[in-house]
Every structure is written in C-alpha cells, then in structure tokens.
Amino acid sequence: MAIRIFETDPDAKPKGTFSDDTVGRFHSGRSVNGIPEALAEWKVTTGDPEVAAAISHLMGGQPNETDSTSENFIEVQTDAKRVKVVLSGPDAISSDMKLWNGNVLIHHCDGVEFLSPDQDRGKACGCPSLMEDRKAAAKSKRGPAPSISVLMRLAEDYDLGLFRFQTGSWKLAEVLHEIGNALDKVDGEALVELSIELVEYTTKKGRDVSYYKPVVKVLKSWNDAIAEPSKSL
C-alpha cells in the first residue's frame, strides 16, 4: 500500500525530472525581454543531456544549458521547420480556453461552459459567440485564449520518449476539428507532420502581413509507415 501524504498537501510534493512523463517540449515561440516572439524553426527544451543530443543529431542545432529554473533547462534551437512525429490518436491532442493573471488561472472553459472551478463546471462561461470577438477579448486580457497540448513521439527516434507541444495558436484552434477527424480515421497511432509555416499576404488596404503558425498534418497510419521500410518517414 502506497503512502498518501501528498493528498493533503499536494504543493509539498517534489517535482520529478519529468513531472508530466515527458522528456522534453517543443516550442514555436519564445519570450524576449517579456515580449512573445514567434520562431521560424522549432526549439526543443529538455532536462536530459542525452535527449538534447538526440534532438541536435536529428534536427540540427546545439544543446545549450540555460539559467532557467524549469526542469527543461537545456534548449536546442534547431534548424528544422518541420518534423515527423507519432500521435497515439485523437486523445493525444487536448484543448481548452484559459485566462491567466500571472500564475493564477482566473477563467477556464471550453468556449461555452466553465471547466473549473468545480462549483462552476457546466455553467455558461459568458464568452462571446463570434470568433472575432473572442480574439479581441483575449488580446485585451478580458477573455481566455486557446490552450492546446499535443503529446507525441519522434518518428525517427520513437523510443526516445514523449514530447509535449503547448500552444495558444488561434490558427491551430480553428482547425482542431479537422485534425481530430483525420486522426479518427486512422486505426491506432498516426504518423503526423508538425511544422512551422510562414504566412504572408497583403490586406485590402495594402498592408503587408506576415506571421508564423504551427501546423499539424495527419499523414497516415504509423503501422503502415513502418511497414514500408524502403520509404523514408
């Protein structure tokens, strides 16, 4: 029988090397002097030097130990805009809407109903109906933004372990239903391309716009992929 001393004081529980059973995280952006900045290539962070070395070998870049107090204090700014990964299925992607005040979660919903706290769960959250209004509220810190999590393995080094990609991308949120439908059609694990794409266009008023967005593209069944050893993943 296991001891249960942390049930009454969960904050006292020590953090393990990988508290959420992942060996590292993928990032499509970073913070520079407190200002968010999109990246053109993937950045991967980990707390394991062997994982960092494997990422460097597969995706380019050099491991760099940072001053971060996070468990993932080693970062690799890779040369890769896209990478093949393996998702276990639709459940590998989770999403909700969150608004933070510092480290305090002050609004948590699915866009229609509250998900927490427990006493409010299931009640109407009051978020705007229109996407444009949702984005405006989030931008002004008056409403929640997407919180999307993708759990995955590297196709070229499956046994290296699970990685997590966390993003607040509205563009990805808008197509999550399409990705879920594609994953539903795959029997078992799916081979997926995870990429950072540059979007450029000119508005009707003549303003040039450019930004980077994360893209998740379902390719095929993982079983089918590994059954074709003569073809590159």
Which tops the pLDDT comparison, 9 or 107?
Answer: 107
Rounded to whole angstroms, the Cα distance separating 72 from 233 reads 28
Mean residue pLDDT of the chain comes to 90
* Mean pLDDT computed over 51-72: 95
User: Which residues are bridge partners to 38 per DSSP?
Assistant: 29
Residue 47: partners with Cβ closer than 8 Å, 6 or more residues away: 17, 18, 24, 71, 72, 73, 74
Residue 45 DSSP SS3: strand
Q: What pLDDT is stored for residue 33 in this prediction? A: 79
Look at residue 198 and tell me whether its pLDDT is greater than 60: yes
Q: What pLDDT is stored for residue 35 in this prediction? A: 82
Q: Read off the amino acid at residue 159.
A: D
Q: How far is CA 196 from CA 86, 149, 163, 180, 206, in A?
A: 17, 16, 17, 19, 25
pLDDT-derived band at 4 (thresholds 50, 70, 90) equals very low
In percent, the amount of the chain with pLDDT more than 90 equals 80
Residue 224 token pair: 């089918």
Read off the pLDDT of residues 112-171 as tens digits, 9 standing for 90 and up: 999 999 999 999 999 999 999 999 999 999 999 999 999 999 999 999 999 999 999 999
In this structure, of 20-34, 184-198, 210-224, the range with the lowest mean pLDDT score is 20-34
Residue 230 token pair: 């003569």
Characterize the bridge pairing of strands 145-154 and 93-101.
antiparallel
How many other CB atoms are there within 10 angstroms of residue 180's CB atom?
15
pLDDT-derived band at 14 (thresholds 50, 70, 90) equals very low
Q: What pLDDT is stored for residue 187 in this prediction? A: 87
Q: What pLDDT is stored for residue 106 in this prediction? A: 96
Specify the DSSP class assigned to residue 15: P
For every residue of 162-227, DSSP letters joined together read: -EEEEE--HHHHTTHHHHHHHHHTSSSSEEEEEEEEEEEEE-TTS-EEEEEEEEEEEEEEHHHHHT
Rounded to whole angstroms, the Cα distance separating 65 from 79 reads 18
pTM: 0.86
* Mean pLDDT computed over 55-74: 95
Look at residue 5 and tell me whether its pLDDT is greater than 70: no
For every residue of 129-175, DSSP letters joined together read: SSHHHHHHHHHTTSS-EEEEEEEEEETTBGGG--EEEEE--HHHHTT
pLDDT-derived band at 60 (thresholds 50, 70, 90) equals very high
